[in-house]
Amino acid sequence: MAEAIPAERRMANDIAANLVHLPGDRAAEAVAGHIGRFWDPRMRTRLFAYVDSGAEGLDPLVVEAVKLLR
């Protein structure tokens, strides 16, 4: 049986995929802005923990966005 993908990873990667067209740092800023405005603090906490545990499977834009959010 395949391992379930954490919801925060899937959702954050989807956001990054939709904003990757933005130039340079604006994409990471837009991902951070979306997560900061629309995600429940508990979801952000789980995403931060996922990044801290190695960020396996996360889009690099998400990792950059988490740095901006912190």
2 confidence band (pLDDT: 50, 70, 90):
low
Distance between CA atoms of 60 and 63, rounded to whole angstroms? 5
Q: Model-level pTM?
A: 0.92
The model's confidence at residue 67, banded by pLDDT at 50, 70 and 90, is very high
The pLDDT score that the predictor gives to residue 1 is 59
pLDDT tens figures, 10-55: 999 999 999 999 998 899 999 999 999 999 999 999 999 999 999 9
* Residue 39, Ramachandran bin (φ over 0: left; ψ between -120 and 50: alpha; else beta): beta
pLDDT at 3 exceeding the cut of 90: no
